[in-house]
Amino acid sequence: MDSLLAERASHETGCVQEVGQRKSVVSELCRPLGSETMIRPRLQTDGMTLDSGRKSRTRVHAIWQMALPAAVLAIAFSTLGRATDATISGYHFAAYGVAGKINYCTDCHGSSGRGYVGYFTMPRLAGQSPEYLVKQLQAFVERRRGNALPMRMATVHGLSPATRSAVAEHFSHLDPSPFGRAPRQLVATGKRIYDDGIPEANIPACAACHGPDARGDGAGIPRLAGQLYGYTLKTLENWDRERSQSSGDPGNIMKTIAHNMTRSQNAAVAAYLSYKR
């Protein structure tokens, strides 16, 4: 009988130690929720009797029941903060995947994707070809674009190819009215340059590549219709420094054109495009 009790006491002591180890893990999981560890149980197993083992095991069980919900919350909140395309699926993907990435884009580019006019102009994404948008997102990932931006594009770096395509498709189907807000007196001159170019200055017609309606063509030639005046003007003026590496223009055609155009010509073309649907 004594040997049986001793064996049982030894077994229960082992159970207490095992629960204590699990409880230590829970305590670590709970640590980020406050400045101090929420649970710091202290187990003493040296010289433990059968009765004290039972009491300790009961106490550990109660603490475990209290700690488990807190541990689940800790895991849930830490997961939300670190969620990526590889870790979210089903309902969570719908809530934090493509829809979440689109919402992130609209913080700067507007809910309709027509851009933002302000201290730092954000370009229009609405109506842009999905192939071109995917190509530019890839340029951000490869750090061929974005080096001059005053904000980090870390969120773009975490996008999977499938998510990039889904985001691009979303914005390609939007068609809000353009902002305009450019100097009206420049529109006529801008239209003439866009349609006919300036042969004497070795500047071809913009319509030759971007099309008469300025809607672009696939991944290589972007839509320009409705693009914000300030953004187009800035892009043309800073093409060599900001866009020559990301445009995918093997012949550097735009680099030559942008170099040959004057500021007033750039402004005229940008004004014309800002009103074009």
Q: Is the dihedral of CA 50, 55, 60, 65 positive or negative?
A: positive
DSSP state for residue 25 in the 8-state scheme: H
pLDDT of residue 240: 83
d(CA 117, CA 227): 11
pLDDT of residue 252: 78
pLDDT of residue 67: 53
16's CB contacts (< 8 A; 6+ apart) are 43, 45, 48, 53, 56, 57, 60
The SS3 assignment for 161 reads helix
Q: Do residues 228 and 152 both lie within one domain? A: no
Question: Of 16, 50, 82, which residue sits at a domain end?
Answer: 82
127's CB contacts (< 8 A; 6+ apart) are 113, 171, 172, 174, 175, 215, 223, 225, 226
Q: Do residues 199 and 266 both lie within one domain? A: yes
Q: Do residues 78 and 137 both lie within one domain? A: no
What's the one-letter identity of residue 159? L
pLDDT of residue 158: 80
The SS3 assignment for 203 reads strand
Q: Is residue 178 part of a domain?
A: no
CATH number of the CATH domain containing 144: 1.10.760.10
Task: Specify burial of residue 226 (Cβ count, 10 A radius: 0-12, 13-18, 19+).
Answer: buried
**pTM for the structure as a whole:** 0.65
pLDDT of residue 118: 86
Domain that holds residue 205: 184-275
d(CA 12, CA 29): 26
pLDDT of residue 150: 66
Give yes or no for a contact between 146 and 153, defined as CB atoms under 8 angstroms apart: yes
Query: Around Cβ 75, how many Cβ atoms within 10 Å?
Result: 11
What's the one-letter identity of residue 21? Q
Q: Is residue 238 part of a domain?
A: yes
Number of domains in the chain: 3
The SS3 assignment for 116 reads strand
pLDDT of residue 59: 57
Residue 275: closest CA among 188, 174, 210, 170: 188
Query: pLDDT truncated to tens, each residue of the chain (277 aa)?
Result: 455 445 555 544 554 454 455 444 334 434 444 333 333 444 444 444 445 555 555 554 555 555 555 554 454 444 444 444 444 444 444 446 899 999 989 999 999 999 999 888 999 999 999 999 999 999 888 888 877 776 667 668 788 999 999 999 999 999 999 999 999 999 999 999 999 999 999 999 999 999 999 999 989 899 999 999 999 999 999 988 877 666 666 557 898 999 999 999 999 999 999 999 9
d(CA 212, CA 216): 9
Q: Do residues 78 and 96 both lie within one domain? A: no
Q: Do residues 51 and 7 both lie within one domain? A: yes
Question: Of 172, 193, 212, which residue sits at a domain end?
Answer: 172
Q: Do residues 108 and 158 both lie within one domain? A: yes
Give yes or no for a contact between 38 and 26, defined as CB atoms under 8 angstroms apart: no
Q: Alpha helix (H) ranges present in 40-124?
A: 50-82, 90-96, 98-109
DSSP state for residue 222 in the 8-state scheme: -
Question: Of 57, 82, 107, which residue sits at a domain end?
Answer: 82
